[in-house]
Amino acid sequence: MGPSSLVAAVSGPHTALMAEIAVTLGAAGIFVAGLVAWYTLWHRRMATTFERVPVGTARSALVVRRGAELPGNTH
């Protein structure tokens, strides 16, 4: 059995379909990974924007830090 018979055995009509499925799943995986990375960065930025300020006994309020940029904040 030579190398050419091995290539002939592996190639066929199903090879193109499998390649198309792999490309589609790869693109979807990259999209989901990018979405997760974006959300993680956004969530961390939002979490560090606020700080706890004591306002009384055993209470605190969340306030926006000075100089923090929030989406939609035009001040």
More confident residue, 73 or 30: 30
pLDDT digits 0-9 by tens, 14-37: 777 888 999 999 999 999 999 999
Task: Please check whether residue 52 lies inside any domain of the structure.
Answer: yes
Tokens encoding 75: 């001040």
Band (4; pLDDT cuts 50, 70, 90) = low
Distance CA 27, CA 40 (A): 20
Task: Please check whether residue 5 lies inside any domain of the structure.
Answer: no
Domain count within the chain: 1
Q: Which residues, other chains included, contact 49 with Cβ-Cβ below 8 Å and sequence gap of 6+? A: 64, 65, 68, 69, 70
Q: What is the pTM of this model?
A: 0.52
- The domain in which residue 54 lies consists of 12-64
Distance CA 67, CA 69 (A): 6
